[in-house]
Amino acid sequence: MTELGWGRHYVAVEPTHFRVEYVINPFMDPAVQPDRALAWRQWHDMVGTLRDLGATVDVLPQRSDAPDMVYAMNLGLGVVRESGERHVVMSHMRYAERRMETRSAQPWFAEQGSTTSTVGRDGVGAHLEAGDAFAWGDGLVVGYGPRTEELALKHLATDLGVRVRGVRITHPGMYHLDLAFCPLDDRRAMVCPSALDDASAEALLAIVPEPLVLTEEEALTTFCANSVVVGRTVVMPACPDRVRAQLEEWGFEVVVVDVSEFHKGGGSIRCLTNPVDVTIGRDLPAVAGGEVLLPPA
């Protein structure tokens, strides 16, 4: 099997101002606040683990008025174009409570040498949240429904010149695709079909030659799909025994890093880290003009 070409360069946001201030997903309860000191230690353990595995992790400061900015996966979709130019399609958050995050992230990405683009801004235009998008197989698999709008898929396909395969998310607790889908290598991925409507679940399973199918309970109670992969190592917030046995049978090493304080905001390791090394022409085939493929209605 061929390892993923991406997943060795991440952007993360320090949890300086992380807290639960509002409710925009089923996990959030302002009456249940994270332990800030523990959250800080957990975040540093996660970043240290990734760096020990050889990954690069760049860190942005967190805005004081953006408690969810720590979930860096949703700042934007980073790619490397065929020319070698780094580019980020900035997210356009569904909820106004998070939209200020990109006002700091966009100039930061630009300062790091990336060009940037948008599909919408300040509530005008299509909503896109990058936690819904993954390079996989012959294109970019993008979940739409709760956070990302279907119209954003066309913007992505055209902007990046790639094929976009849309899958419709219907589960309120798995509101981003990164809670239900985790690519492992060129043939394998963790997939929770319960997150999707029937046609989308069938379409996603059809393009994964060897899926590790997660139950709804496994995905929701352990956040195990919200993991990251560095080579043959899967960095996970928790790993059910059944899932561990399959991963190890396939030759993966499982490293569990406790980030449970961040589950109180509805995200885990993947949400806290944003891969910016997906390369068009290597990880994503270039498609002139772009193409969008949707499941049957």
Q: Which residues are catalytic?
A: 176, 271
Distances (CA, A) of 263 to 165, 187, 221, 270: 28, 29, 10, 11
| CA–CA distance, 114 with 127 (Å, rounded to integer) | 21
Using a 10 angstrom Cβ sphere, with 0-12 exposed, 13-18 middle and 19 or more buried, the burial of residue 170 is middle
Q: Tell me, what amino acid is at 279? A: T
| Torsion sign across C-alpha atoms 46, 5, 242, 26 | positive
| CA–CA distance, 77 with 50 (Å, rounded to integer) | 20
| Torsion sign across C-alpha atoms 167, 173, 174, 176 | positive
Q: Give me the sheet containing 56-60, strands edge to edge.
A: 56-60, 9-13, 274-275
| CA–CA distance, 268 with 226 (Å, rounded to integer) | 6
